Amino acid sequence: MQKIQVGVVGTGFIGPAHIEALRRLPNVEVVALCEVSQELAETKAAQLGIPRAYTFDELLKQDDIQSIHICTPNFLHYSQSKAALLAGKHVICEKPLAKDLHEAEELVQLAKKSGLVNAVHFNLRYYPLVRQMKVMREKGELGDVYSIIGSYLQDWLFYETDYNWRLEPDKSGDSRAIADIGSHLMDIIEYVTGLKTTAVLADFNTIHKTRKKPLKPVETYSGKMLQPDDYADVPINTEDHANVLLRFDNGNRGVVTVSQVSAGRKNQLKLEISGAKKTFAFDSESPNQLWMGNRDGYNQTVTDDPSLVHAEVRSVIGFPGGHNEGFPDTSKQMFKEVYAAIEAGKQPENPTYPTFADGYRELLICERILESNKSQSWVNV
C-alpha cells in the first residue's frame, strides 16, 4: 500500500501529539519535520524518530509530501496554511485558523478554490460520547434545546510565574483563554446541538495583571529554584478568566465560563445541555461516561461501549466497552476521517471533520466575544 507522506510543522506540545496520532493510521507516514532552523529541525526529528528535517520553505518544495500539519504558534497559521495550499498540499491546521476574520476568510476561499483537503484541529468533537450526544439530538432524543451550561477550566497559568508565548498578543492574538480553549467549547456546543450562536455578552478578567517571564528558556531551570533576578515583569492584557452569556437561533439561552487559573482543573471541558426530553452532561476528564437526566424516570449513565451507542458513533470508537479511550484517541479518530478524504484526493462535499469553514465560524464567535467584553454590551454574531 502506498502510504500518504506527511510533514509536520512545529514541535511544541501539539506537534508531537499530531505525530503520535498519525502513526496509528495504516495509510499515513510522517516522513518530515519542520522547525524554525535546520539545526533545531534535525535535533527534533532525531528525538521523534522522523527521517527528514527541513525549514518551512524547504519542506514545501518536497514533491512527495502530500499533506502538511500546521502546529506552530497562532500568528503563523495563516501564512503557513496559505503557502502550503499554494504549494498544492492538503492542510490540517491547529486552531485558531488565523489571527483575524479577513485572513480566515481568505484561507476558506483559497481552500475551496483549490479543492484540497482542509481541516482545523477541533479534535474534542471526537470523544465518542460527544458524537453520541450529536446523533441522539439528530434522532430527536434530546428534544428542543432549552439551555446550555458549559465550562472549560485549566490551571496551567495559575501562578504569576507561569509563562508561555500564548500570553503575548503578537503571537497568540488579542484573546487568550477564549481563543485557546473557549473555541473548543463553542465549537462543540454548535456541533452537538445544531444551533447557531446569534449574540454574546462577555465579561473578562485578568487575574495576574503582571506576570514574571523567565529571562532564559524554562528548560534551563528544570529542577532548580528561580531567583528574582531570573525574571522580567511583563504586563498582561489578555484574559485569564471569562464569562459569556449566549443567545441561540432557537430563541433560548446559554452560559459558558472559561478559565486558565482554576487550581486542580488540568484540562476539563464540561457541557450540560437541557432539552425538552432529557439533559445531557459530559465531562472531558471522565470522557467514557455520558450522564442523561430524566424528569419522570431514572437518570442514566451511558459508556462508550460500541455495542450500546448508536451505529453512527461506532466508527470513532477503537476498543471494546470498558477499555477507556481519551485525549490522544480524539486526534487519531479525526485524522482517520481526514486521511480518508486525502486518499480520495479532494475535500468531500459534506465533510464529517471540522474544516477551514468551521475555523472561520469559531474565529467569528471569538471576535464577537472580544468585542462584547470591550463594549460591555450584547454583540450580535
**pLDDT of 220:** 45
Tell me which long-range contacts 230-237 makes (C-beta under 8 A, separation of at least 24): 231/161, 234/163, 234/167, 234/210, 235/209, 235/210, 236/167, 236/206, 236/208, 236/209, 236/210, 236/211, 237/169, 237/174, 237/206
CA 110 – CA 370 distance, rounded (Å): 26
**pLDDT of 173:** 83
Cell of 360: 472561520
> Tens digits of per-residue pLDDT, 106-123?
999 999 999 999 999 999
**pLDDT of 62:** 97
**pLDDT of 217:** 65
Q: Provide the residue-wise pLDDT of the chain in tens; the chain has 381 residues.
A: 799 999 999 999 999 999 999 999 999 999 999 999 999 999 999 999 999 999 999 999 999 999 999 999 999 999 999 999 999 999 999 999 998 999 999 999 999 999 999 999 999 999 999 999 999 999 999 999 999 999 999 999 999 999 988 899 888 888 999 999 999 999 999 999 999 999 999 999 999 999 999 887 665 445 556 777 788 999 999 999 999 999 999 999 999 999 999 999 999 999 999 999 999 999 999 999 999 999 999 999 999 999 999 999 999 999 999 999 999 999 999 999 999 999 999 999 999 999 999 999 999 999 999 999 999 999 999
Amino acid letter, residue 217: P
Residue 346 C-alpha from the chain's centroid: 23
Pick from 303, 278, 276, 300: nearest CA to 288: 303
